[in-house]
Amino acid sequence: MESAIPEHLRTTRTRHRRIPDDYAPPYPSFVARHKPGVARVVMAYFGVQARDASSKAAGEALAWITTCFESDAGPTHWDRARYIDEAGFSNIVTVAYWDDRAKFDGWFPTARDGWTGDRRALDGVGTFIEVLYPSVEGYETLFSSLGRPEGIAVLADGMSGEVQEHAYWGGMRDRIPLSQTSELAPAGAARAIRDGARIRVIPHDNLCLIRSGQDWVDTEASERNMYLGDVEPVLREGMDFLRDEGRSIGCYANRYMTVTAPDGRPIEKSYGMSWWKSLAALERWAESHPTHVRIFGAAMKYLSTLGPAAKLRLYHEVTVARTDEAFFEYFDCHPQTGMLNAVQRADTA
Amino acid sequence: MESAIPEHLRTTRTRHRRIPDDYAPPYPSFVARHKPGVARVVMAYFGVQARDASSKAAGEALAWITTCFESDAGPTHWDRARYIDEAGFSNIVTVAYWDDRAKFDGWFPTARDGWTGDRRALDGVGTFIEVLYPSVEGYETLFSSLGRPEGIAVLADGMSGEVQEHAYWGGMRDRIPLSQTSELAPAGAARAIRDGARIRVIPHDNLCLIRSGQDWVDTEASERNMYLGDVEPVLREGMDFLRDEGRSIGCYANRYMTVTAPDGRPIEKSYGMSWWKSLAALERWAESHPTHVRIFGAAMKYLSTLGPAAKLRLYHEVTVARTDEAFFEYFDCHPQTGMLNAVQRADTA
Interface of A with B (CB under 8 A): 15-16, 18-20, 23, 26, 167-170, 183, 185, 278, 280, 284, 287-288, 290, 293-294, 296-297, 300-301
Whether A33 and A307 have beta carbons less than 8 Å apart is answered as no
Q: Enumerate residues 6+ apart whose C-beta is below 8 A from B221.
A: none
Of A310, A268, A17, whose CA–CA distance to A140 is shortest?
A17
The answer to the question of residue B214 being in a domain is: no
Q: DSSP for A113-178?
A: HHHTSTT---TT-EEEEEEE--BGGGEEEEESSSS---GGGGGSSEE-S-BSS-SSTTHHHHHSGG
Per residue, the 3-state secondary structure of A234-252, as one string, reads: HHHHHHHHHHHHHHHHCEE
Helix (H, G, I), strand (E, B) or coil at B59: helix
Stretch B24-37: mean pLDDT: 94
CA angle A63, A46, A341 (to 5 degrees): 145
Best residue in B179, B206, B293, B302 to probe A by mutation, most A CBs within 10 Å? B293
A108: amino acid identity, one letter: F
Of B109, B99, B101, whose CA–CA distance to B68 is shortest?
B109
Helix (H, G, I), strand (E, B) or coil at B283: helix
The answer to the question of residue A247 being in a domain is: no
A26 with B169: Cβ contact below 8 A: no
Query: B316 or A308, which is more confident?
Result: B316
The answer to the question of residue A100 being in a domain is: yes
Of B2, B52, B214, B34, whose CA–CA distance to B135 is shortest?
B34
Instruction: Please name the member of A280, A290, A301 whose beta carbon is closest to the beta carbon of B290.
Output: A301
Q: What is the mean pLDDT of chain B?
A: 94
Residues from chain A contacting residue B278 (CB–CB below 8 Å): 20
A280 with B19: Cβ contact below 8 A: yes
Distance from CA of B289 to the nearest CA of A (A): 8
The answer to the question of residue B27 being in a domain is: no
Q: Enumerate residues 6+ apart whose C-beta is below 8 A from B259.
A: B79, B80, B81, B213, B266, B267, B269, B270, B271
Instruction: Please name the member of B170, B300, B301 whose beta carbon is closest to the beta carbon of A170.
Output: B170
Whether B78 and B72 have beta carbons less than 8 Å apart is answered as no
In this predicted structure, the answer to whether residue B349 has a pLDDT above a threshold of 60 is no
Distance from CA of A132 to the nearest CA of B (A): 24
In this predicted structure, the answer to whether residue B1 has a pLDDT above a threshold of 90 is yes
In this predicted structure, the answer to whether residue B348 has a pLDDT above a threshold of 70 is no
**Catalytic pick among A8, A166, A316, A334:** A316
Whether A41 and A97 have beta carbons less than 8 Å apart is answered as yes
Residues from chain B contacting residue A296 (CB–CB below 8 Å): 293
Whole-number Å distance between alpha carbons of A43 and A316: 13
Whether A175 and A166 have beta carbons less than 8 Å apart is answered as yes
Whether A346 and A202 have beta carbons less than 8 Å apart is answered as no
Instruction: Please name the member of B26, B170, B301 whose beta carbon is closest to the beta carbon of A18.
Output: B170
Look up the ipTM and state it: 0.88
Instruction: Render pLDDT for B198-230 as a digit per residue (tens, 0 to 9).
Output: 999 999 999 999 999 999 999 998 889 988 988
A293 with B296: Cβ contact below 8 A: yes
Strand partners, A253: A275
State yes or no: is A292 an active-site residue.
no
Distance from CA of B290 to the nearest CA of A (A): 6
The answer to the question of residue B260 being in a domain is: no
Interface of B with A (CB under 8 A): 15-16, 18-20, 23, 26, 167-170, 183, 185, 278, 280, 284, 287-288, 290, 293-294, 296-297, 300-301
Provide the residue count of chain A: 349
Residues from chain A contacting residue B17 (CB–CB below 8 Å): none
Helix (H, G, I), strand (E, B) or coil at B295: helix
CA angle A301, A212, A227 (to 5 degrees): 45
Burial class (CB in 10 A: 0-12, 13-18, 19+), A54: exposed
**DSSP state letter for A58:** H
Whole-number Å distance between alpha carbons of A334 and A90: 12
Whether A243 and A252 have beta carbons less than 8 Å apart is answered as no
**CA distances (Å), origin B161, targets A189, B213, B313:** 32, 20, 17
Q: Enumerate residues 6+ apart whose C-beta is below 8 A from A181.
A: A11, A12, A13, A14, A15
CA angle A272, A278, A284 (to 5 degrees): 75
B288 with A18: Cβ contact below 8 A: no
Of B113, B115, B85, whose CA–CA distance to B340 is shortest?
B85
Whole-number Å distance between alpha carbons of A55 and B39: 74
Of A330, A311, A17, whose CA–CA distance to A144 is shortest?
A311
**CA distances (Å), origin B182, targets A20, A21, B273, B316, B327:** 12, 14, 24, 21, 23
Closest Cα in chain B to A298: B290
Distance from CA of A15 to the nearest CA of B (A): 7
Mean pLDDT in order along chain A per 10 residues (349 residues):
97 97 93 97 98 92 96 97 95 97 97 94 93 98 95 97 96 98 97 93 98 96 88 91 94 98 93 98 90 78 77 96 98 96 72
Closest Cα in chain B to A21: B185
The answer to the question of residue B197 being in a domain is: yes
The answer to the question of residue A288 being in a domain is: no
Instruction: Please name the member of B16, B185, B293 whose beta carbon is closest to the beta carbon of A293.
Output: B293
A301 with B287: Cβ contact below 8 A: no
Whether B163 and B1 have beta carbons less than 8 Å apart is answered as yes
Residues from chain A contacting residue B170 (CB–CB below 8 Å): 18, 169-170
CA B28 to chain centre: 22
Helix axes B290-306, B279-288, angle to 10 degrees: 80
Instruction: Render pLDDT for B236-261 as a digit per residue (tens, 0 to 9).
Output: 999 999 999 999 999 999 999 999 99
Whether A79 and A262 have beta carbons less than 8 Å apart is answered as no
A56: amino acid identity, one letter: K
Whole-number Å distance between alpha carbons of A180 and A292: 26
Whether B172 and B43 have beta carbons less than 8 Å apart is answered as no
| Chain A with chain B: Cβ pairs closer than 8 A | 53
Distance from CA of A107 to the nearest CA of B (A): 39
Q: How many domains does chain A have?
A: 1
Helix axes B232-245, B290-306, angle to 10 degrees: 150
Instruction: Please name the member of A20, A293, A301 whose beta carbon is closest to the beta carbon of B183.
Output: A20
B18 with A170: Cβ contact below 8 A: yes
| A245 C-beta neighbours (distance < 10 Å), count | 12
Distance from CA of A55 to the nearest CA of B (A): 44
Phi-psi group of B264: left, alpha or beta (phi > 0 → left; psi -120 to 50 → alpha; rest → beta)? left
Closest Cα in chain A to B285: A168
Whole-number Å distance between alpha carbons of A190 and B156: 46
Q: Enumerate residues 6+ apart whose C-beta is below 8 A from A19.
A: A164, A165, A168, A170, A171, A174, B280
Instruction: Please name the member of B16, B26, B185 whose beta carbon is closest to the beta carbon of A183.
Output: B16
Whole-number Å distance between alpha carbons of B190 and B93: 23
Residues from chain A contacting residue B301 (CB–CB below 8 Å): 290
Best residue in A17, A18, A245, A320 to probe B by mutation, most B CBs within 10 Å? A18
Domain boundaries, position A67: 42-134+191-202+324-348
Of B271, B251, B245, whose CA–CA distance to B259 is shortest?
B271
The answer to the question of residue A226 being in a domain is: no
H/E stretch holding B292 reads: helix B290-306
Residues from chain A contacting residue B15 (CB–CB below 8 Å): 16
Closest Cα in chain B to A297: B290
Helix (H, G, I), strand (E, B) or coil at A57: helix
Instruction: Please name the member of A20, A169, A284 whose beta carbon is closest to the beta carbon of B287.
Output: A169
- What is the sign, positive or negative, of the torsion defined by CA atoms of B275, B281, B286, B291? negative
Distance from CA of B179 to the nearest CA of A (A): 12
